[in-house]
Amino acid sequence: MNKKIFALAIAGLVATGVTSAAPASFVNKTILHAWSWSFNTIAQNMRTIADAGYDFVQTSPANTCFVGEGGGMALMSKPGDEVMGKWYYYYQPTDWKIGNYMLGSRDDFKAMCDSARHYGVKVLVDVLPNHVAIDHTAVKESLDSAVGGHENLFHANGLTEIRDYNDRYQCTTGQMGGLPDVNTENPDFQHYYLQYVNDVISCGASGFRYDTAKHIGLPSDPLDAKSTRNNFWEVAMGREPVKGLSLCVPRDSLFIYGEILQDKYVKEEEYAGYMDMCASQYGYVLRNALNKHDFYADSLRDWHHLVAPDHLVTWVESHDNYCNAHESAGMDDALIRMGWVFITSRKDGCPLFFSRPMGSTRDNYWGKNRIGERGNDEFFHPEVVAANHFRKAMAGQPEAISATADGRVIEVARGKKGASIINISTDKVKMKVATSLPDGTYRDKVYHKKFKVKRGILSGKVEPLHSYILTR
């Protein structure tokens, strides 16, 4: 094998993508996705979340939702289980009020936000105005009444299943996976939904994740027969009032990003005018390189997105990757952790850490299989914590990425101030890699292992699937 050192310098990576409307103040932040944790559970763990270095905690949907399988609290039950239930019922709205049987009441939500404020953590809330429950007869009378009757809740095309997700008319007006498509352009709906948003903010939330955002039309998209303007995003982002009601705080005080999964004909540039968005393709290529234990297996230098990288939410895995097709669920926790250290050490993006279920294994993805409980310990693993704090300490420093010739070990150097070393292989490695760190001896923050830099070459011994944080 060629023993020369490959240095992939990406110092001061120039963003050539489209700039988002979101404020730059949210750069260098990290998000903990407290997936399926109850509001009380999040509150009880807020100090740990803060100490671990997270800036935001993202909740699952807080709105009134469909009560499935008798209100059972299993993450994913199967016939014959003692406790029934499915995690995705909270993605089936029946009203736009805070509180549901899965995560807790409005009082619980507010107490969680109060706890977050006390510890200096901000709260993001998952929202999904695009659809209602599959059983749309379960929609509450208050929502039906607010829009002038049940029939006014949906697009004219709203009960027709999407057949071609690259057809923007179908994508933004049609039923997705059996979920009826809401007429988000109806001003009566916008007014009712915006009251919910403002109530969430008044309780203490600082931003939102918009689920299925690419299914809500943009001004340039085709109109549904019931609509005269595609102006949902104008209202939701506070650019115009609806029936005298506006977003209750300035838009630039909120962190808002959309689940705009990359595909053909998705209008990323236009969505970027309203919000940040997730880097779904980057997650895919990162997992590919991790699974092959080879940095060179995919193009990790490129963010694979048209939007500037400082306006992207990055991840190794999302809850959809883990839960739906189990695309990432077979990956070891340690391998996921190596990916987290990598993206968190980088200059751009806003990394999101998905909290896997407590007790989950690669043979049992659901672990203890209970909604409301805390996830496993990985979110505060010492390497994760060290990477989170490293990100803050390196704010403003340029990045340079290098890898060993065989791609097993990656270095993310941040100017002359610090570097992370990530062994994505299952082998012990005696490594040498190009670095921007000054000559000298360094000890990492977690294991106190010694590394040396001499004449621009960083050397040391690294354990399988371990990461190391070096600072001057």
Sequence-separated (6 or more) residues with CB below 8 Å from residue 303? 17, 279, 282, 309, 312, 348, 349
d(CA 101, CA 109): 12
**Which active-site residues does the annotation give?**
211, 259
Residue type, 294: D
How many CB atoms are closer than 10 A to CB 259?
A: 19
The phi and psi torsions of 434 (rounded to 5 degrees) equal -65, 145
Q: Determine the 3-state secondary structure of 158 from DSSP.
A: coil
Q: How would you label 151-186 residue by residue, b for 16+ Cβ within 10 Å and e otherwise? A: eebbbebbeeebeebeebebbbbbbbeebbbbbbbb
* Residue recorded with tokens 């941040």: 414
**Which tokens in the block code for residue 267?**
């209008």
What is the Cα–Cα distance from 129 to 457, expressed in whole angstroms? 52
DSSP H or E segment with residue 44: helix 39-44
3-state SS assignment for residue 65: strand
Q: Which two tokens stand for residue 270?
A: 């236009």
CB-hemisphere CA count at 13 Å for 50?
A: 14
Q: Is the dihedral of CA 42, 46, 48, 51 positive or negative?
A: positive
Calpha distance 400→158 (Å, rounded): 48
Two tokens, residue 69 = 């399988």
Distance CA 398, CA 389 (A): 17
